[in-house]
């Protein structure tokens, strides 16, 4: 029993200190030195802890709020500025007062509720009473009040009622970049667009770790040029109004880097007024919507044939009569009634010619080529909002016939832009980005999808179309524009509606050495007297594209050149010389 009550033996270090402090065989001077040393160590530890806490408060002044975030209502987080490629601020934080309560410190809850609701009539009395009736240490009463309201409430002197200066997100450019930049919720957390991308790429983790303070965040630089964005939006607004279109949208892309320089989808919304963003008519049609792109898809069909090496620009195709396939008959808007070569298929936008070209390649080759061009899979960019292409469930020859001229398959317009970029930039498929990127960085992620020779021929065809084809109204003098039109009838209740069309026009600038692609889309433009009752792309989307080019080319640093030779001599001759 004695052995069971024995205390455990002390550690040797404890025995040593005990002997030094109280041992009979230790002299008094040694005991004094040990005691003084222990006191010094104790004070050093205390000062170290105090210093560490001071450093933490200096580095993380919102630490108090952070604890509240974890246990009580959330507090708006700090976010980095978002700027355009020239340093213009697109989104930033400002400080705004918010009203909170500390129920445990309230002396008279009823009086507090009465005074607060009298000062802020938009407060719900029952909700304020309920929130102040808890035993919580902190509850929000109203976020983002005005300085005048803060002053008025402060003068009431209600115990347990206070203010916190929170981060509030503001967008100085308003609607200009709405669909691209997205927006945040009341807690300053990204819920759409680039704002949401920021949270999903480290910002939320930084906040959770307590490192995302105002002073530690560098601005995020986008690929967007606000000047170009403004010009594009302005021309689209005019076109939407002039042609009484249901919607209008457009993209300016750098074909060498994949950077999106401007992107507009109308109707848009003001991110400073988030309620508008929930309107289903205000979706981003360029990434969230998928559409049959009409004849702009013929560019892929012809590139497929040219890249196979089996056909050239002078290869002939039978367009003497409509193409009958099963119970379907394929017509041309401008019937030639003869054999036509590849150039005529493109400039006259022949459905029959495009269908025969695709059939000559075969279904599997057609599918493989479109997959290689990035048209078969969902496009992923920094923007969280994206849609998957709509493809035929069972892809047979009839599908290849219609898809050859842009019907029967729907893609996101940004996806089509990526493919066209590859057709004209030498054959490199570059994933689009909304972040600033150099050409070297772009080539690191690029993938060759067609030959340089094929790309040269596509640039020639696009320029030829602006000289003699359906893109003539966009041939802005001095800028050597190339382009392709597209008019697709919309599917209404499972049937194509001839009077309700989605028009697109894609242009490259300049065609002999492309730097930019411009896409313009008009949804359901109406016939006008000046268009002679036509609603096809050449009468509305193309002239709109020309106006956009005339405004943005100087902003993009594209110098005008005059008296240039036709595409046959400038593009094809240069291409042959380098082969």
CA distances from 393 to 295, 389, 399, 400, 571 (A): 22, 12, 10, 13, 40
Contact 253/421 with Cβ under 8 angstroms? yes
Give the pairing of strands 82-83 and 220-221. parallel
Average confidence (pLDDT) per 10 residues, the chain, 579 residues = 49 70 70 79 81 58 42 67 96 91 89 91 90 88 89 90 90 94 90 93 65 67 98 98 97 98 96 84 92 96 97 96 88 90 96 97 97 97 94 95 96 97 98 97 97 97 96 96 95 86 97 97 96 95 98 97 92 81
Cβ atoms of residues 548 and 520 within 8 Å: yes
Distances (CA, A) of 289 to 254, 391, 414: 22, 14, 10
* Interatomic CA distance for residues 457 and 450, integer angstroms: 11
CATH superfamily of 77-117+137-221: Penicillin-binding protein 2a (Domain 2) (3.90.1310.10)
Per-residue confidence (pLDDT) for residue 56, from 0 to 100: 61
- pLDDT of 11 reads 67
Q: What is the predicted pLDDT for the residue at 69?
A: 42
pLDDT in tens, 458-507: 999 999 999 999 999 999 999 999 999 999 999 888 888 888 999 999 99
Write down the pLDDT at residue 53. Answer: 66
Q: What is the pLDDT of residue 271?
A: 94
φ, ψ for residue 118, nearest 5 deg: -75, -35
Model confidence pTM above 0.85: no
Each domain of the chain, given as residue ranges in start order, spans: 77-117+137-221, 228-577
- Give the other-Cβ count within 10 Å of 551's Cβ: 17
8 Å CB contact between 135 and 87: no
Q: What is the pLDDT of residue 65?
A: 41
pLDDT of amino acid 386? 92
The CATH class of the 228-577 domain is: alpha beta
What is the CB neighbour count within 10 angstroms for residue 325? 15
77-117+137-221 and 228-577 have identical folds = no
Tokens of 158: 């209600």
Pick from 428, 432, 454, 459: nearest CA to 443: 428
User: With DSSP H G I counted as helix, E B as strand and the rest as coil, what are the percentages for the chain, rounded to 5?
Assistant: 45, 20, 35
Q: What is the structure's pLDDT at 58? A: 47
Sequence-distant (≥ 6) Cβ neighbours of residue 164 within 8 angstroms: 65, 75, 97, 98, 100
The answer to whether 306 touches 313, Cβ cutoff 8 Å, is: yes
pLDDT digits (tens, 9 = 90+) for 373-387: 999 999 999 999 999
By CB atoms closer than 10 A (0-12, 13-18, 19+), residue 117 is: middle
Identify the pLDDT of residue 314.
96
Please give the radius of gyration of the chain, using alpha carbons only, rounded to the nearest integer: 34
How many residues are recorded in the chain? 579
Residue ranges of alpha helices (H) inside 298-349 are 298-308, 342-347
The residues assigned a catalytic role are 295
Closest CA to 217 of 53, 91, 382: 91
**What sections of 96-176 are H helices per DSSP?**
109-119, 125-132, 147-156
179 within 8 A of 195, measured Cβ to Cβ: no
* Residue 96, beta-bridge partner list: 166
Residues near 153 by beta carbon (within 8 Å), at least 6 away in sequence:
99, 116, 119, 120, 145, 161, 163
Q: How far apart are CA 304 and CA 319, in angstroms?
A: 19
């Amino acid at each position: 029993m004695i052995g069971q009550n024995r205390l455990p033996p002390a550690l040797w270090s404890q025995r040593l200190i005990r002997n030094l402090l109280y041992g009979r065989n230790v002299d008094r001077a040694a005991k004094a030195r040990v005691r003084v040393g222990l006191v010094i160590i104790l004070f050093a530890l205390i000062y170290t802890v105090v210093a560490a806490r001071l450093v933490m408060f200096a580095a993380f002044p919102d630490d108090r709020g952070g604890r509240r975030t974890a246990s009580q209502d959330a507090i708006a987080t700090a976010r980095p500025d978002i700027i355009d490629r020239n340093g213009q601020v697109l989104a930033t934080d400002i400080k705004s007062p918010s009203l909170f309560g500390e129920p445990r410190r309230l002396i008279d809850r009823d009086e507090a509720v009465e005074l607060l609701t009298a000062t802020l009539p938009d407060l719900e009395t029952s909700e304020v009473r309920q929130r102040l009736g808890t035993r919580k240490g902190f509850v929000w009463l109203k976020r983002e009040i005005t300085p005048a309201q803060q002053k008025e409430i402060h003068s009431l002197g209600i115990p347990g009622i206070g203010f916190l200066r929170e981060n509030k997100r503001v967008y100085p450019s308003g609607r200009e970049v709405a669909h691209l930049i997205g927006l945040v919720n009341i807690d300053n957390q990204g819920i759409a667009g680039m704002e949401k991308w920021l949270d999903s790429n480290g910002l939320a983790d930084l906040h959770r770790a307590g490192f995302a303070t105002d002073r530690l965040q560098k601005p995020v630089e986008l690929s967007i040029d606000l000047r170009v964005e403004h010009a594009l939006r302005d021309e689209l607004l005019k076109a939407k109004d002039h042609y009484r279109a249901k919607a209008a949208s457009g993209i300016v892309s750098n074909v060498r880097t994949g950077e999106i320089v401007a992107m507009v989808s109308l109707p848009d919304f003001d991110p400073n007024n988030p309620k508008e963003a929930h309107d289903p008519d205000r979706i981003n049609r360029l990434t969230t919507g998928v559409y049959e792109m009409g004849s702009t898809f013929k560019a892929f069909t012809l590139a497929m044939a040219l890249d196979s090496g089996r056909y050239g620009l002078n290869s002939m195709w039978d367009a003497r009569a409509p193409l009958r396939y099963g119970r379907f008959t394929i017509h041309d808007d401008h019937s030639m009634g003869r054999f036509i070569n590849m150039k005529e298929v493109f400039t006259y936008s022949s459905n029959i010619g495009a269908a025969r070209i695709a059939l000559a390649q075969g279904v599997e080759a057609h599918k493989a080529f479109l997959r290689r061009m990035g048209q078969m899979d969902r496009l992923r960019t920094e923007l969280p909002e994206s849609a998957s292409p709509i493809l035929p469930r069972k892809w047979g020859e009839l599908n290849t016939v219609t898809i050859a001229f842009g019907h029967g398959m729907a893609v996101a317009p940004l996806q089509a832009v990526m493919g066209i970029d590859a057709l004209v930039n030498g054959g490199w498929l570059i994933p689009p980005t909304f972040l600033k990127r150099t050409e070297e960085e772009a080539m690191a992620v690029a993938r060759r999808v067609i030959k340089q020779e094929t790309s040269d021929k596509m640039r020639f065809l696009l320029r030829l179309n602006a000289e003699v084809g359906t893109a003539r109204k966009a041939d802005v003098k001095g800028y050597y524009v190339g382009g392709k039109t597209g008019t697709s009838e919309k599917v209404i209740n499972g049937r194509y509606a001839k009077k309700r069309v989605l028009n697109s026009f894609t242009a490259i600038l300049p065609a002999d050495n492309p730097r930019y692609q411009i896409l313009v889309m008009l949804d359901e433009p109406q016939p006008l007297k000046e268009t002679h009752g036509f609603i096809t792309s050449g009468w509305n989307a193309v002239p709109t594209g020309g106006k956009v080019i005339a405004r943005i080319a100087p902003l993009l640093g594209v110098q005008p050149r005059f008296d240039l030779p036709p595409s046959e001599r400038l593009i094809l001759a240069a291409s042959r010389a380098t082969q």
